[in-house]
Structure 1
Amino acid sequence: MKWVVWIFLVLGGLCLVLLIGPGVLLHLLAGPAIVLAIGGFIALLFTWNDDWQNFWVIEHEQTIIACAKLRRHSRYSALHDVYVVPHWRSRGLGSYLVKHLGQQATRPLYLSCMPNLVKFYNRLGFTPVASAKLPPLLQYDLGIPGRFEVVPLKLP
């Protein structure tokens, strides 16, 4: 069945070349191709991100057991992806990592978390903040739009 489709496409392309000529066909296709190439390059340029440089990790015997991502901006910082391997939890690693990154951060430091983690972050000095009071770009940075279950928090 696939070969029938390929034959149809090849024959259709040949008929198109014969009907309008190869020069006109190339002219018709060159414009959209250039626009797509430029658009792709611009998208790559604006989305290029060395996010891995923003990750902080705690290792044990060359194995990552805890990590977090700190994104510093001129007016605030955002803490993301705080995670401790379950076996290593309740040993202070998450608290240490958050406190350390809090010292490195441009204040205020924001994060969003699931409701069951609010008490953990409250102990570290974070307080809830209303999503509606956050600028749209910060809401986006915290992953709030479309995720009603997360709670935004702020460390002044």
Structure 2
Amino acid sequence: MSSIFSLRPVIAALMLALPSTAFADSLAVSPTRLTVPAPAQATTMTIKAEGKGQAVVQIRVMAWKKGSDPSDLKATKMVQVSPPAAKLGNRQELTLRIVRTSNKAVRGTECYRVLIDRLPAKSKDPQAVKLQIRQSVPLCFES
């Protein structure tokens, strides 16, 4: 048991020795759930980049059935988001405008998912790990 505790300083020193690029940048999204009551047809959402580098994001809206698997999505033109893509600097905020473009009245609840993809940054190291981070936010229009 005492040998485990003696390794703590070594592990802490190794973690501090890692290059700062090993720690991920983050992307904050607010709100994390959107409900739009009738007769409104639009709402907004804010995304904020945190970290040292530039964040490149792509935003899309997909049709979704409430209560089903969040990854069971279908392409739609019923809801549009603006802007659909952006570059954000450190601590920069972006307000997204989300608009339901259908002229048909909502009956009950009509749900979608707002997908925010943070695209991997370009790296000069060909062996660097590149991750695409996705946040999926439920959006429901209600009658």
TM-score normalised to structure 2 length: 0.29
Larger-Rg structure: 1
> Higher helix proportion, which one?
1
Does 1 or 2 have the higher relative contact order (CA < 8 Å, sep 6+)? 2
> Higher strand proportion, which one?
2
TM-score normalised to structure 1 length: 0.28
